[in-house]
Structure 1
Amino acid sequence: MKYKRLLLSFVMLLILIIALFIPFRTALVFYKENTPNIEAFLPIKKGDTFQIIFKHSIHLTDVVEKYKVTKDLEIKQYEFVYEEFGIGMPSNAEEGETFVYEDGKYHIKNMDNVFPEIKVRNGKTVSENRLVWGTKDNEDQHMVWFNDYFEPGAWFTIKVKSISLWEMMGGVEIHE
């Protein structure tokens, strides 16, 4: 009887450890600077899209970077949208990309830039960065302000990763 209880306790402890530490949820993870410390995460799946929108600090117009999660859990930039040429803005498309002017904005489409991670700074002087996810067509699009989750001026390493329940408890889940 004593051994059954001991065995049952061991099995329960093993199940708890597995439940806490085995990655099971794919997320867009915001790591504080160059550390393994998770500040926030957004549950996301392979093939999902998201956008990072920031206010250009000089001409004060929105710049939209559009991304897609690849099957290898990397981040693929597929479009870049801006309103004015200037510092930091491209003047044309690269080979294989398309440069168009639609609805008063410049679009670079068909981009194929794949990143294992991206570095993002929450604006300090002009702090109007936003994260958008979901599909606009189905009116299932969501948006949050970076300032609701991060300090102005803070910077992050963003990766798509499978995370465990333990890692989820270390960060804040981003939601609308």
Structure 2
Amino acid sequence: MKKNRVKRMFIGSSILILALFFIPFTKCLIISPVEEQSFTYIPIQPNEVFRIEYTHSIHLSQVEEWYAARNHKIELFKMVYEDTSIGMPSKGDEGTSFRITEEGKYEISNMNRFFSSFHLRIGQVKANHLLHIKEETIPFREIYHEGTLVEIKVDTLSLWQLWRGVNFHV
């Protein structure tokens, strides 16, 4: 009788430990190639801000897109750029704030655009996409090859998923 109780406790504890292994609990910024099953992750805090900086392909000036992790969504809340030519707005949409900074750059804030994920093709020539997060700067080409189409999203990962992915330490 005592053996059965110990056996049941062992089995119950084992099931509980296994279940905890698969329960998502770590919020991460996830970068994954669209055509592959692999992924890279960076643990983040709720509402943590990160930005993507790149050189615009046509007018070859710097663009910064500011994002925040909001629950399981990504909010684009600000853009800073140097030129309003092809592909860049010359004013903000309704509800946004548009200004010219002291450095002469254009800034649109209060954008409040939410995405469950978005795609980014890592620049092959001049774009030099950079991820700024946790006071670190990470060139996207150090994560995946230039030309790779990646999906960027925020999600909560389990221990199992964390072990499967590649932690880009920052």
Deviations 1:42-62 (A, max 9, x none): 111221111011121233222
Write the distance in 2 (CA, Å) between the matches of 1:16 and 1:107: 49
Query: 1:164 is matched with which residue?
Result: 158
Query: 2:146 is matched with which residue?
Result: 152
Shift of 1:133: 1.8
Mapping for residues 95-106 of structure 1, pairs under 5 Å: 95-102=94-101, 103-106=103-106
Instruction: Provide the TM-score with structure 2 as the length reference.
Output: 0.87
Write the distance in 2 (CA, Å) between the matches of 1:31 and 1:3: 47
3-state SS, counterpart of residue 111 of structure 2: coil
Write the distance in 2 (CA, Å) between the matches of 1:90 and 1:149: 30
Write the distance in 2 (CA, Å) between the matches of 1:85 and 1:32: 31
The alignment covers a number of residue pairs equal to 168
Distance 1:126 1:3, change over 3 A: farther
Q: Does 1:23 align with 2:24?
A: yes
Mapping for residues 8-19 of structure 1, pairs under 5 Å: 8-19=9-20
8 Å Cα contact 1:69/1:160 also seen in 2: yes
Mapping for residues 15-164 of structure 1, pairs under 5 Å: 15-33=16-34, 37-70=37-70, 72-102=71-101, 103-134=103-134, 141-164=135-158
Gaps of 5+ in 2: none
8 Å Cα contact 1:144/1:175 also seen in 2: no
Write the distance in 2 (CA, Å) between the matches of 1:105 and 1:91: 11
Write the distance in 1 (CA, Å) between the matches of 2:10 and 2:54: 52
Deviations 1:40-93 (A, max 9, x none): 1111122111101112123322211001122x3211111011111222211111
Structure exhibiting the larger radius of gyration computed from Cα positions: 2
Shift of 1:158: 1.5
- Which consecutive segments of 4 or more residues in structure 1 shift more than 6 A? none
Shift of 1:164: 0.6
The amino acid of 1:24's aligned partner reads F
3-state SS, counterpart of residue 144 of structure 1: strand
Relative to structure 2, which stretch is displaced further, 44-53 or 123-132?
Answer: 123-132
Among the aligned pairs, what percent are the same residue?
A: 30
Gaps of 5+ in 1: 135-140
